[in-house]
Structure 1
Amino acid sequence: MEDRQDAEPGQPDAAASHVGEIGRQAGRGLRWSVLGNLAVRAGSFAVSLVLARLLVPEDFGVYAIAMAASQFVIHINDAGIIAATVQWRGRLEDMAPTATIVAIVSSTALYGVFWVIAPYFAQASGSEDATWVIRVLSATNLVYGLTAVRSAALLRRFEQDKLTKANLAGFLVNAPVSIVLAAGGAGAFSFAWGQLCGAVVTGVLVVVYARVRIKFGLDRAIARKLLVFGLPLCVSLGIEGLLLNADYVIVGDVLGLTLLGFYLLAFNISSWVPGLIGTAVRYVALPSFSRLAEENEESLSLGVQRAVPLLISIVLPVAVLLGTLSPSVVVFLYGERWAPSAEVLRFLAILMVVRMLTALAFDILAAMGATKATVWLNLGWAVVLVPALMIGARVDGIRGAAIGHAVVAVLVALPLATLALHRAGAVLAPIATALVRPLLGGALAAIVMLTLAQVVHRAPLIQLCVAGGAGLLVFIFVVVPQAVLRKLGGRVTELIPVRSR
């Protein structure tokens, strides 16, 4: 970073100043990321409401199988090149030609592999009809491979505004294509073709916005550095892809497409916040913590100590609402026929919080260069998760699978993430004190919501407004400092016109 003052260890003021400077740059990028994600997620939500009425649960089940394959590929698609580019310590122009070659070769080879194994993957997941849906949807990863270095360049420069515009343009193509195809009877293909068309538009704009000269070349020394950093990260991301999508395969195989469709809907609802806030955070977390890691461990630790409580304070109230009022959420948004998804959502709300925290830990470890630690983190999680999902699905259906996911996340994933950060050198002890108020606020909000939900036996919307609204207010009053509340109250008062008598 230009014009910066190096913070020496033992100088808290310098470390805090540097963290603040990085925070301001990251804050601008985060605002744009949140704004763009909010628009895309709101639009995706509206589209999902339409598609839920045009399609049947079996179509959602087929799409879930295709998405499991596609999401697994996307996690390992670029051989870790995006992360390696973001944290590259030298000039971007020197490594871009080599990085571009590596990303394209990796994504093309993986697509070829999944084209061949698509029929076997579909059959193992319980639906041979998913074969061509997998092939179409996985083609989006070819686009991501072609544009990986350009996307990383935008993230590296904190130009999330341009990346946001590209994603919005892609969604504006994705939405009408999906709806028109669904209305025409295309079934699960409506999802796949919509996403592919949107990805192409986004990719073209990313290349234009990035302003990185398209040049191909292979420098073996640079390629070696990229792969030494990226391959462990690629393996870890592949395991993360397994973590996020193993339940689709297991539920589809054990319980069938209809129940998988209900499970997918609940999982999609639980993914709103990770998709909105989590994706935005990941756009800025890696470049931010990479710059802090360039300075010293004290600056990075201070950044971690500020980020974790803030993230929990944002995510926890939403998780409490989804967990306590899941029947009202599902029925109000999607109708009575999707009610079986509610019991799944209760437990996936817990998973949502853990996913946000482990994703942040993953980016911090990658920024510190501890990519091997991310492998052990995700591998330990996956080894316990897969049998837990199998047992849960067989014992208690989709509800059992969700319970298995939540229990393993809390008892295995969180401790492993904490241990990995500690071993990497991050000082975590001050975080415990900062979490007291959010956890207390979450507990009180849950009690209020559950109590009022028993009292208000009316339409789902009324229950959400009364019980959910009261619980969220309790959380705010407990967690947000009184000085901040008074300041906000004063500003609101200033905006209210007062008539002079």
Structure 2
Amino acid sequence: MEQEDATVTEAADTRSIGEKAGRGLGWSLLGNLVMKAGSFVMGLILARLLSATDFGVYAVALAATSFVMVVKDLGIMMATIHWRGSLEEMSPTATLLNMISATALYGVFWTIAPFYAAYAGSPEAAPVVRLLTAVILVEAVTAVRSATLLRRFQQAHNSMAILAGFAVNAAVAITLGAGGAGPYSFAWGQVAQAVVTGLIVLRVARMPFKVGFDRMIAARLLRFGIPSAAGIGLEAVLLNVGYIIVGDIMGAQPLGYYLLAFNVSSWVPGLIGTAIRTVSVAGFSRLAEQESDSLSQGVQRSVPLLYSAVLPLAIVMGLLAHPLVAFLYGQKWDQAAGVLRFLAVVMVVRMLTSFALDILNGRGATAMTVWINIGYGIALVPAVIAGTHLQGIRGAAAGQAAASLFVALPLAVLGLRAAGVRVAPIAPALLRPTLGGLASSAAVLGVLSVSGGAPPLVTLCLGSAAGLIVYVLIVVPVDRLRALPGVAVRLRATP
């Protein structure tokens, strides 16, 4: 009887975690959707105000910032989400460690910015690097409070703070871009966003701001945080390594085309992946606390859903890259379309491998994330270098796609198995969406073969509609499709 009661209680706890994570994911998706729509509009405006060289300079600074943003706190933010115990007791020590780490790291990047920019092929990017990386000083003050919101699944507050900051970012960046500030328009916009978002987070987290030090708490935080920060830092470096290699070999203008393609391929990870990451580590950490097979079961349910949602978007994006780029950014950016075809593959693998790393962090297997990224990097860097020399920016993207698909993904699967997560039951659930993806690809290619000289918008709409309809008809179960009219009737009847 006691065992049955414990099982019922654990099942209820699992449902509660799922409900909280679901609500948090909903708010994160909504916030990301609004922000990405705004980013999209802002990108269209800035693409017409700025040159490809300006984008290339910004890409160099962005690569540096992407790295410092994930290692600035020695993994303290991730350790806060994973913390077992009182957040109020842990917070002063975590805040102090954050501030020390971020200040030291910013000092390093201030010093090496000229050397880094020169190596990346854009010496003029050095002051932009120094300005943009300053956002970590703001993040150092707010990181523990942001992590607290995520741990409590209070993504609504977090999303509202980010959206308010983005509104300021857009206003500053567009104003400066119109005034001729070039790549500085991006940098000042993001600094302004960090300040506004940080002020709101400090207010809504409702945790007293205190700084202190406890040796035992610090040791616990660093044992978890340092491997986690190393793994996520390597992930950021590997994600952005194409910028550095393309810039070093080919210069700022080709790098601008590469950046545009990369930005388009990041729409889905930025919208869905970022939202998932705000709840996945906390959710999987809670599931890992339970003694049953809850973590493996959660992984087995969530991975096929993620794959099924991302695959058709990647197919449409990759196969319709030329009309997509031509319609959104103009024919002058067409060179980016050849890059986007390969980066669409990277997008799918990136979503799956990042999710695997989140599972490992939630499981507490932070060291495993480091080894996965090291193995991936050993394959990625030479693949991108060789591809760039052979086929320019398209070759760089092809090398990145090959390393992601044939090295990063298998390593992620092996890492999950080593951490005790049962992944074998996932494979059968991936068969149907894969077949749907093949049929969807055929439908899109069919539209392309007959569209001829049609305007980009016409080709884009017809190809997207054909691909997505075919995919849905194959992948979504018939009973769910039949239920849609009833759902629509109930929604219209709801007052």
TM norm. shorter chain > 0.5: yes
Counterpart in the other structure of 1:56: 51
CA-CA distance at 1:384 after TM superposition: 1.1
CA RMSD, Structure 1 to Structure 2 (Å): 1.6
Counterpart in the other structure of 2:485: 489
Counterpart in the other structure of 2:322: 327
Distance 1:21 1:219 in 2: 33
Task: Output one character per residue of 1:57-103: Cα deviation in whole Å (capped at 9) or x when no partner.
Answer: 00000000000111111120111011100010101011100000011
Counterpart in the other structure of 1:196: 191
Name the aligned partner's letter for residue 31 of structure 1: G
Distance 2:201 2:492 in 1: 43
Distance 1:266 1:7 in 2: 54
TM alignment of 1:72-91, pairs within 5 A = 72-91=67-86
Task: Give the SS at the match of 1:435.
Answer: helix
Of 199-208 and 478-487, the range deviating more from structure 2: 478-487
TM alignment of 1:444-463, pairs within 5 A = 444-457=439-452, 458-463=454-459
Is the counterpart of residue 215 in structure 1 residue 203 in structure 2? Answer: no
1:344 to 339, 344, 347: 339
Task: Output one character per residue of 1:121-149: Cα deviation in whole Å (capped at 9) or x when no partner.
Answer: 00000111100000110011111111110
Name the aligned partner's letter for residue 379 of structure 1: I
CA-CA distance at 1:18 after TM superposition: 3.9
Counterpart in the other structure of 1:23: 18
1:232 to 221, 224, 227: 227
Counterpart in the other structure of 1:412: 407
Q: 1:308 to 1:394 in 2, by over 3 A?
A: same
Task: Output one character per residue of 1:198-230: Cα deviation in whole Å (capped at 9) or x when no partner.
Answer: 110000101111111111110001000100101
Unaligned runs of 5+ in 1: none
TM alignment of 1:259-298, pairs within 5 A = 259-296=254-291, 298=293
CA contact (8 A) 1:15 1:298 kept: no
Distance 1:363 1:378 in 2: 13
Task: Give the SS at the match of 1:215.
Answer: coil
Q: 1:203 to 1:288 in 2, by over 3 A?
A: same
Distance 2:13 2:462 in 1: 44
Counterpart in the other structure of 1:175: 170
Of 67-76 and 233-242, the range deviating more from structure 2: 233-242
TM alignment of 1:354-373, pairs within 5 A = 354-373=349-368
Name the aligned partner's letter for residue 270 of structure 1: S
Distance 1:24 1:356 in 2: 22
Distance 1:428 1:69 in 2: 35
Distance 2:406 2:479 in 1: 36
Name the aligned partner's letter for residue 231 of structure 1: I
Of 153-162 and 382-391, the range deviating more from structure 2: 382-391
TM alignment of 1:108-147, pairs within 5 A = 108-147=103-142
CA-CA distance at 1:297 after TM superposition: 5.1
Distance 1:156 1:495 in 2: 33
Is the counterpart of residue 472 in structure 1 residue 468 in structure 2? Answer: yes
Counterpart in the other structure of 1:149: 144
CA-CA distance at 1:491 after TM superposition: 2.7
CA-CA distance at 1:296 after TM superposition: 2.5
TM-score (norm 2): 0.97
Name the aligned partner's letter for residue 467 of structure 2: G
CA-CA distance at 1:6 after TM superposition: 9.3
Distance 2:303 2:213 in 1: 39
CA-CA distance at 1:20 after TM superposition: 2.7
Task: Give the SS at the match of 2:293.
Answer: helix
Q: Give structure 1 regions of 4+ aligned residues with deviation exceeding 2 angstroms.
A: 5-9, 13-21, 489-497
Task: Output one character per residue of 1:166-190: Cα deviation in whole Å (capped at 9) or x when no partner.
Answer: 0000001000100010111100000
1:252 to 244, 247, 252: 247
2:66 to 59, 71, 88: 71
Distance 1:7 1:374 in 2: 36
Aligned residues: 491
Task: Output one character per residue of 1:236-272: Cα deviation in whole Å (capped at 9) or x when no partner.
Answer: 1221121011110110010111100000000000000
Name the aligned partner's letter for residue 78 of structure 1: D
Name the aligned partner's letter for residue 448 of structure 1: A
Q: 1:467 to 1:434 in 2, by over 3 A?
A: same
Of 462-471 and 286-295, the range deviating more from structure 2: 462-471
